[in-house]
Amino acid sequence: MTVHNPRRTVLVTGAAGFIGRHLVEHLSSRDHTVIGVDLRQAPPRPANAAAGRHIVADLRTTDIRPLLDGVSSVVHLAALPGVRPSWDRFDDYVESNVLVTRRLLEAGAQTGLRRLVIASSSSVYGNQRDGAMNEDQPPAPISPYAVTKLAAEHLALAYAARPASVLTTMALRFFTVYGPRQRPDMLISRIISAVRDGREIRVFGDGSQRRDFVFVKDAVRAVTAAIDAPGPSRVCNVGTGEQISVTGIIALISELMGRPANVRTEPHRAGDVVSTRADTARTAEALGFRASVSLREGLREHIDAVRSESMPVGA
């Protein structure tokens, strides 16, 4: 007889997205029952994947309470994620990133949700002085997107801190995540496909901006640890503690692919921070998590995935 254990049923919002798809696959391969929800259909799952449910719904309008039936943990990834377009679509970002989070938190308060893992962002730090970004530094967002991520993070912590609340919030500040199926608007995906096709890469600014790039399978391990970590509510960085410039990563990908990279320089984009690098100490202590995939290893897997996606059927 199969015993259904409701403690291990996890609702993943944004399940059809870049990080969401990896998370659903990972959790399903462990002993979690996963319910995914997204505006978009779930992509086909590997034949050997454990059964799970995927619900197509808009979290801006759908009644969220029924989705939480039997669910003790929610991983909230659904959002509008791009930094640079957020200047022109602030209402949409507020609605998708802040108001949706509030709807989820209200539903959770009514149904007794115990654990929320919420995707926050390194962008909430803004331009800090050189050095690693530490969770105790005052956030200073410089883009509308980052403002909405910080608002959502703080709201989730505020709901958890309400008297009689049973909720614990784990706010994970992801640094720039890359890997197979990365969003096509993001730098590394753009570099790999441009180098493959011999197209130009547009570099915003002089290319000296630096990012802490974290491999998606590492990010997913951090989320998994946050689902099960003992309380209290925390804010935790998810990064590697290392960084590379945009120019540096273009050169590295070009070397790994054995093909030249053609760069075209465009103006710096408002809202783009100069440098990100995670202080990883708190996450190591609170979640027992440290990133383990090197940039070269992760890029190789990302490049292989892009190459196999572009392979004609039967090739």
Residues forming the site for ligand NAD (CB under 6 A): 14, 16-20, 38-40, 58-60, 77-79, 81, 96, 100, 119, 121, 149, 174, 176-177, 183
CB of 64 to ligand UGA, least distance (A): 23
CB atoms within 10 A of CB 202: 12
- Name the residue nearer to ligand NAD (CB basis): 6 or 145: 145
Binding residue (CB under 6 A) for ligand UGA from 33, 97, 123, 128: 123
The residue of the chain with the least Cβ separation from ligand NAD equals: 17
Among 272, 279, 282, 305, binds ligand UGA (CB under 6 A): 272
Strands (E) located in the chain: 9-13, 33-38, 53-56, 73-76, 115-121, 168-174, 176-178, 200-204, 210-211, 213-215, 234-238, 244-245, 262-266
| CB atoms inside a 10 Å sphere around CB 56 | 14
- Between 111 and 193, name the residue whose CB sits nearer to ligand UGA: 193
Which amino acid makes up residue 150? Answer: L
- Tell me the backbone φ, ψ of residue 115, rounded to 5 degrees: -140, 125
Q: CA–CA separation, 58 vs 168, rounded Å?
A: 25
71-110 residues in contact with ligand UGA (CB under 6 A) are: 81-83
HSE value, Cβ hemisphere, 13 Å, CA-based, for 115: 25
Q: Residues 275-314 vs ligand UGA: string with x where CB under 6 A?
A: -x--------------------------------------
Q: Is residue 147 helix, strand or coil?
A: helix
* Nearer residue to ligand UGA within complex by CB, 87 or 204: 204
- Is 145 designated active site? yes
Residues 190-209 binding ligand UGA (CB under 6 A) are 190, 202-204, 209
